[in-house]
Every structure is written in structure tokens, then in C-alpha cells.
Amino acid sequence: MFGKRYRLFSVYGFEIRIDASWFVLAFLVTWTLATGFFPAIAPGFSRNTYWVMGVLGAFGLFGSIVLHELAHAIVAQRNDIPMKGITLFIFGGVAEMGADPPSAGAELRMAAAGPIASVLIGGILYLVSAATAAVVPAPVVEVLRYLGWLNLILAAFNMIPAFPLDGGRILRAYLWHRRGSLRKATYTSSRVGAAFGLLLMALGIASLLGGMLVPGIWYLVLGMFLRALARSSYQQVLLKEALEGEPVSRFMKRDPVTVASSISLRELVEEYVYRHHHKLYPVVDDGELVGCVTVRQLREIPREQWEQRRVGDIAAGCTLQNTVAADADAMDALKLMRNTGSSRLLVTSNGTLDGVITLKDLLEFFSLRVELES
Ligand SMILES: [Zn+2]
């Protein structure tokens, strides 16, 4: 979902990252505040003052989103949900979870923490702006007041019950608690999320027709993004339900293509790589798994040496990155594929090669199951 990300700093052990798309939002916010918003609500200052106010407002938006996501992350971690850090991007921020919440209660507490933090920050900023109005320069008071409202709006928008917004997560937690099924709860709340996405898209089109180009495009893309997110969140839950608890050995193919360590690299290329198109080959001698050879390793050897050198010369030990135990959970195999980007894993038990499991096999099983059960 993200492009290039920059690491900024860590708070409470959570890494704060910025996606390149955030700079678009930062620019749009600064520009809108400096040329439209602040001149309208607080007339009489110079153009430079408005630009300074705009930049301060954008920094304030950044801080507000970080604190909102930090509240999610801290409460999530206290509720045994592993966190991967916080990323800011064009539509705000996201506290990335390493796994689904273990219970409806945990999800409720995690989801509510962000909006509660935003309401508190908004209230405090508003009070500070009122209390300091007589002593600090007027532009600063205006920025503080703006940030106060911004936090309240942030809380209100996130409380819309459209999954995966916070309000949608709260709705899902409530349905999960009542119906006892995470899948049904996710289904309903992601349908609401998708409907809200459609509403935003309609608003975007209306804005475009009304001549408001930037807000129009922004609403349109945000709506599309929310719809896609709602759909993929539901599929994620279906996938988890289908695969969790199933051993890897159920999906693996036995008798995988293997190579002997005695063959030359030229044979490896001609007889295996060009025929099977795999990127990784298990090296097996006398029924024993002795290592792994990859196309990447092969690429580092000059072509002239392919005839003389043997697979055994360049093969390395198979690693945890490309191997999974036969009795491991199929969902764990899928996670490993996602984390490493490799779509084929070797299945082993006690040092022998049992077979190979591929992403394609897992997804085929999944789509058959969805087709049969829906
Ligand atoms: Zn939130």
C-alpha cells in the first residue's frame, strides 16, 4: 500500500515513518491554509505571516496524526497486538498491526484510543488558545485554535462507522462480541465501509462538477481507497479462517523438482531453470536435503564458468526464509511468503524434503472454499 518510506524517529519504541505521498498532503494543507483558510478567518496579516501560519498548521497536522496513531499503537501493544510502527501518508496515518486483535474487547480499546486522544488534544489546544489570547501574538492563537478544531474533526471523521476507520473497528468489535463471529462482523462492517467509500466518491464527483478540483480529486481517491481497503480487509479475514489450523502438508506438492549437487551450472540452467522457471531449487543427494541453490546465486557466477562449476560449489544452506515445517500452520506459511516475497517454500521434516508449497496452491484452495461456501 505504500511507496518509498522515510524513517523519521521512534517514540516509545514505535518507529514513525513517512510515505512519499505525505508530502503531497503537507503541501496541499500548507497552501490551502496560507492562501484560503487563514486569510478568510483572520484577515489583516501580511502574506508572509499567512505562509508561516500555513507551515505551522501543516506541522501541527503532522503532530496531531502522530499522537492519534501513537494512542492506537500504545493501547494495541498493551492488549497483546504486535505493532509494526506508524506510517503517515496522503490520507493521514496508520498504526500498522502485525496481527489481528485477539478479542473484540482488545479491538474496541485499540480503536477507541485514537479518537479519544484527538478529542483530548483538541480540547486542550482550544483551551490554551483561549487562555493565551491576550499574551501571545494573534497569528499563533489562530493556529492553535485551528489545530484544536482540526483534532476534533480528526476524531469525528474517524468515528464514522465505516470499516476500516476507527468507528468501523468499534462497530466490528461490537458485532463480533454480539454474534461471536469475526467473519460475520467484518462482513457487515466492511460493507458499511464500502458504502461510505461510494458516498465519498459521489461527493468527489459533485465537487469536481462544481469546479472544486483539488477537494474533488481528493474525495474521489479517498473513497476508492476506503472501498479497496474494506474489501481486502474482509478477504484477509476469510483467508485467515480458511487457512488457520490447516497444516502445510495438506497443501504441499510431493515429489518437487530437485537437483543433485554433482551437476554443472550449465545443466542447472538448461535442464532446470529454463524448463521449470523456478527461482529456487532444493539440492538433494541420496534422498538427503543438502542445501538450496537460487537463480540469484547463479547470476553472480560468470557465464564462462557454468560448464566447469558444480551446483555443490555454489549451493548454500536452506534458510528459514525459504523453508517451512510440514506440520506448521498454513497461515504462517502465507505470512512467510508475504514477508519474504517468495511464492515457493520448501516443506521439510527432520532435515528431509517432503515437498513444496506455493502461493498459487494456497490461493486456489482459498478461492474454491469461498466459492463452495458462499
Ligand atoms: Zn485512528
State the Cα–Cα distance between residues 5 and 12, nearest whole angstrom. Answer: 20
Q: What pLDDT, on the 0 to 100 scale, is given for residue 2?
A: 63
Of 117, 136, 115, 123, the C-alpha closest to 56 is 136
What's the pLDDT score for residue 112? Answer: 95
Q: Which of 268, 274, 261, 265 is nearest to 307 (CA)?
A: 265
Characterize the bridge pairing of strands 288-294 and 323-325: unpaired
pTM of the shown model: 0.75
Contact 83, 97 (CB under 8 A): yes
Task: Give residue-wise pLDDT tens across range 8-39.
Answer: 888 888 888 988 888 888 898 899 899 988 89
Q: Using CB atoms within 10 A of its CB, is residue 5 exposed (0-12), middle (13-18) or buried (19+)?
A: middle
Question: For position 122, what pLDDT does the model report?
Answer: 95
The residues, any chain, with a CB within 8 Å of residue 333's CB and separated by 6 or more, are 248, 251, 324, 345, 357, 362
Measured in Å, residue 116 CA sits from the centre of ligand 1 at: 9
Active-site residue 69, yes or no?
Answer: yes
The environment of the single-atom ion ligand 1, i.e. residues with CB closer than 5 A, is 114, 158, 166
Q: At 68, phi and psi to the nearest 5?
A: -60, -50
What's the CA gap between 332 and 339, in Å, rounded? 10
Q: Give the burial class of 197: count Cβ atoms within 10 A of its Cβ; 0-12 exposed, 13-18 middle, 19 or more buried.
A: buried
Model pLDDT, residue 4? 75
- Percentage, residues of the chain above pLDDT 70: 99
Report the separation in Å between the CA atom of 106 and the middle of ligand 1, taken as the mean of its atom positions. 14
Dist. CA 197 → ligand 1 center (Å): 17
- Ligand 1: centre distance to CA 350 (Å): 45
Question: Catalytic: which of 69, 96, 107, 142?
Answer: 69
Taking 70 as the pLDDT cut, the residues of the chain under it are 1-3, 373-374
Interval between CA 263 and ligand 1 midpoint (Å): 57
